[in-house]
Structure 1
């Protein structure tokens, strides 16, 4: 895995009520990732970008919802999320720049 690929694996953090609770209780952080990302790539990308130690990675594929716009049927894009659990003593602070 080259460094350029690892820099493109993470698309951004998912900030929601569920992800905030997971971060507080279980040291899990949720990221949107590219659809073809593998668990070892996600682990190395998080360790590279945030300088933390990753304990494990779980990946979820969420299918896009079917929507209607009048008579036109459409579909939202699907999302691949990674739940990353950090090792004891590691932490990511997304609000540091504020």
Structure 2
């Protein structure tokens, strides 16, 4: 198995995701090659919580311009992680 910290890259914190935290739903940027089972095991290993559901989506690359130069942003994968009802909230997000 891969190292859990290689699968979970960073949390995604926006106004929308901050509102979802009250329902024990958290959003993470994950490795694009990881699957739902690997993401679930990684979250449970890092934060010592029980995960009930994982939904993923791939965010496509977008064209960007800077002056006369053009290119694309990177494609990345987002994971919506729902914790079980008896699980405690993630202490990492308590200050948000």
TM-score tier after normalising by the smaller chain length: 0.7 to 0.9
Pair 1:43-2:40 in alignment: yes
Distance apart, 1:89 and its partner CA: 2.4
Aligned residues: 94
Deviates more, 1:87-96 or 1:37-46: 87-96
Q: 4+ residue stretches of structure 1 with deviation over 6 A?
A: none
Q: Which runs of 5+ in 2 are unaligned?
A: none
Q: Where do residues 1-98 of structure 1 align in structure 2 (5 Å cutoff)? A: 2=1, 4-24=2-22, 26-90=23-87, 91-95=89-93
When residues 51 and 10 of structure 1 are mapped into structure 2, their CA distance, relative to the original with a 3 A threshold, is: same
Q: Which runs of 5+ in 1 are unaligned?
A: none
Q: TM-score, normalised by structure 2?
A: 0.88
Q: TM-score, normalised by structure 1?
A: 0.86
Distance apart, 1:73 and its partner CA: 1.5
Match of 2:74, SS? coil
RMSD: 1.6
